[in-house]
Amino acid sequence: MPRQGPWETFILVRGDEPGLAPELYTSAEAEVTRLNERVIQLITDGRPVKIYCGAGEIPRHGFLNLDIAIEAPLFSISNSEDYFIFPFADRPWDIPSSSVDYIFHEDFIEHINQLQQFQFLSEALRVMKPGSWHRVNTPNLTTAMKYNSHFEDGFRGVYTGELRWGHVSLFSSSHLAEVATIVGYREVVFTTKHGGVSPFAEPDRRPADDRDDILGNIYADLLK
């Protein structure tokens, strides 16, 4: 079932969907319960807890992948223990505070509105361990507007192309740093593509050919 909006529509996947285990993906509450159990299991096993938000079509192995719809059906079957479907930007995650070693997302946070961004960043900060990093990779508002708008034409000259991708609230670097500081992150480090500072960092997949690798996106690591 396709998404019907940039973010707001949570697609509940029934247990009788072909190829899916009947006990999985049945409700948001059940998914949050599974997530909590998986986090506790990883902690008990002495393994790092890494969360990848908005996993899309290519979830990451070794991460707990969160999304609002099944975009990677084969992964959902073979790695169901690390794949969770619920509206994670719209509700608490109900996992222990200070339990997560790393949070990563790319081309996700611009799909949610300003209030959701504050709620999401606050919940992420709550669950992170002190000294851990939260990597944000997101389209750059400054670049998008500066190079695509014709402000001299007034209202009609303002670039609206981001809307076609479902982008509702983009950040500039300074705005992201300000919001992160308000929420309570101790430090914001701006880097480059593939330049994550966490020991758990992995190569960035976004942007692809649709944006400039250097100026098209903001790459920031937020320290708890």
Domains by residue range for the chain, with CATH: 1-96 (no CATH), 97-224 (3.40.50.150)
For residue range 118-136, list pLDDT tens digits in order: 999 999 999 999 999 999 9
Among 138, 130, 146, which residue's Cα sits nearest to residue 105?
A: 138
For residue range 57-114, list pLDDT tens digits in order: 999 999 999 999 999 999 999 999 999 999 999 999 999 999 999 999 999 999 999 9
Phi-psi category of residue 101: left, alpha or beta, with phi > 0 → left and psi -120 to 50 → alpha:
alpha
For residue range 14-42, list pLDDT tens digits in order: 444 544 554 567 799 999 999 999 999 99
Alpha-carbon distances, residue 216 vs 29, 191, 206, 209 (angstroms): 37, 13, 10, 10
Task: Record the pTM.
Answer: 0.91
For residue range 143-199, list pLDDT tens digits in order: 999 999 999 999 999 999 999 999 999 999 999 999 999 999 999 999 999 999 999
For residue range 209-218, list pLDDT tens digits in order: 888 888 999 9
Q: Which pLDDT score, from 0 to 100, does residue 208 have?
A: 87
